[in-house]
Amino acid sequence: MDQAEQAAKVLEQLVNDYARLDLAVEQIDEIEHKSDHIVHDIVKKLDATFVTLVLFDREDIYQMAETVDTVVDLIKATVDRLKIFGLTEADAHTREMGRLIGQSVSILHDTVCALDGIRLDQTDFCAGINALENEGDAALKRSLADLFQRESDARQIIKWKEIYEFLEKTLDSCEDAANLLENVIVKNA
């Protein structure tokens, strides 16, 4: 979860200070590699271990690791595309969606850190992340509507549309992780 939180912070810093693009690409590459190594280590340990954490069974651990890694991968894909597409600045839509991703990942991180003592009546984190994902859906619609109104260059439309969609997919993955956590809590209540 720490890698996802770090990736979200890099994304938020980048969309608020686009001069950090080259540094962000470097940082996100390193974070994504660490995240991949963590998933591989988890799989190796699951193969060698029969006993798991109190709340998580082997499948839950694997699914959670994969889902969090997907969040990191999507953030990396977004940052890479900002660089590859040669975009010179982040717009207000990108900053808004970056903020939503940062909030979602922060809630996930805090929930995972408190998971050992969490109770069934403490699953409102899932509703919070769902609300942020819904805001992301609305932000995607606004960003696309604005893009098609203001931009006439088809190349720019393609570039920005892909950026916006990757940001929204990242929020979807955050919601997937929250749903998985909620299912684990319910299953073990």
For residue 17, the enclosing domain spans: 2-187
How many separate domains does the chain show? Answer: 1
Judge contact between 5 and 106, C-beta under 8 A: yes
- Give dist(CA 69, CA 4) in Å, integer: 7
- pLDDT, residue 158, reads 98
Judge contact between 71 and 32, C-beta under 8 A: no
For residue 35, give the nearest of 79, 71, 60, 84 by alpha carbon: 71
What's the half-sphere exposure (Cβ side, CA atoms, 13 Å) at 19?
A: 1
CB neighbours of 130 closer than 8 A, spacing ≥ 6?
175, 178
Give the domain CATH number at 115. 1.20.58.220
- pLDDT, residue 58, reads 76
Give the mean pLDDT per block of 10 residues along the chain (189 residues): 92 96 96 91 69 66 90 97 96 97 94 73 84 97 97 97 98 94 79
